[in-house]
Amino acid sequence: MIASCADASTGDVVLIPRQGRIAHVSAQSLPFDAPPVTLVTADGERLCALHLEQPDQRREIAVVLAHGFTGSWRKPAVWAVAAGLTPYAGVLAFDFRGHGSSTGRSTLGDREVLDIHAAVAAARGLGYARVVTCGWSMGGSTALRHAALRGGVDAVVSVSAPSGWYVRDTVPMRRLHWLVEHRLGRAVTRTMLRTRVARKWKTMPESPLEVVGRIAPTPLLIIHGDTDPYFSTEHPLALAAAAGHPSELWLVPGFGHAENAAPTELLDRLGRHLPELLARGPAAAAAGR
């Protein structure tokens, strides 16, 4: 049984429910025992995903949760983010290509734009009126690029994202480059971190900083910690300056990097802020919200 989540003529996405049904999981249940959903991207990758409904099962706002490099919705930190947002929105969490149970190889934010596009189409197909992408680290840079290059979302949240490529000015990033640029590093990443990495780009994709100005008039929220060990605050400041209106920047004191460092207070603040963020968009203005 295959359930279409978008116009089949677009070829962007289908949902393939396992056990003959789409998995809908309450925020109180553990995701590990629930049947996941498979998303199929425009270039044929199959992404493992999970839909978490709000306790009251409303279908008003969906958050498409895009994890960081080596992440997965099954990892505790990503699951904590998903569970922390479900009081405020439905959440569609998925594994990027090359991660977890998804097929393919990670391209570190290039082809992953198609992954987010598939998840957004799936959220629309599940009946959500408004869809927000929320990306963390690599997922944050991909959410920016998706909104600029593909669009189709009502708001964007980018957390702990770099503004450009080949950032090597911190020790963690130099380690990450070794993992993805060297054969031994890719072997370690594949066997130890369950992340399969593609070889170097043939053509360098446009960076988040180069495209972020194209996101407007879609509302954009940039979140970054002032103690991030991977990316300095120069990155969010540059992104916010290039984004223009309607965008906003939260520099969070004491916040480190991405999902592993996200405090409950930040997730609550973000969840409560979603209606206000969406109200800044052109769709909300046209509807008189």
pLDDT of residue 238: 96
Strand partners, 135: 66, 158
Is 289 part of any domain?
no
pTM as predicted:
0.86
Q: Is residue 1 part of a domain?
A: no
Q: So what's the pLDDT on residue 21?
A: 37
Q: Which of 48, 233, 168 is nearest to 180 (CA)?
A: 168
Query: Which segments of the chain does DSSP mark as H helices, in order?
Result: 76-85, 112-125, 138-149, 171-181, 183-192, 208-211, 234-243, 258-261, 264-278, 282-287
Q: Is residue 110 part of a domain?
A: yes
Calculate the CA dihedral of residues 273, 25, 117, 81 and round it to 10 degrees: 40
Q: How many domains does the chain have?
A: 1
CA distance 192 to 198: 16
**What is the span of the domain harbouring residue 240?**
8-278
CATH number at residue 264: 3.40.50.1820
Report pLDDT for 257: 95
Per residue of the chain (289 residues), give pLDDT as tens.
223 333 222 333 434 333 333 344 444 444 555 568 899 999 999 999 999 988 887 889 999 999 999 999 999 999 999 999 999 999 999 999 999 999 999 998 899 999 999 999 999 999 999 999 999 999 999 999 999 999 999 999 999 999 988 888 888 778 877 777 777 778 877 877 788 888 888 888 999 999 999 999 999 999 999 999 999 999 999 999 999 888 999 999 999 999 999 999 999 999 999 999 999 988 665 555 5
State both tokens at 228: 């991030």
Residue where the block lists tokens 């405090």: 263
User: What is the pairing mode between strands 247-252 and 61-66?
Assistant: unpaired
Cα–Cα distances (Å) from 270 to 19, 23, 250, in that order, read 34, 25, 10
Specify the length of the chain in residues: 289
Does residue 287 lie in a domain region? no
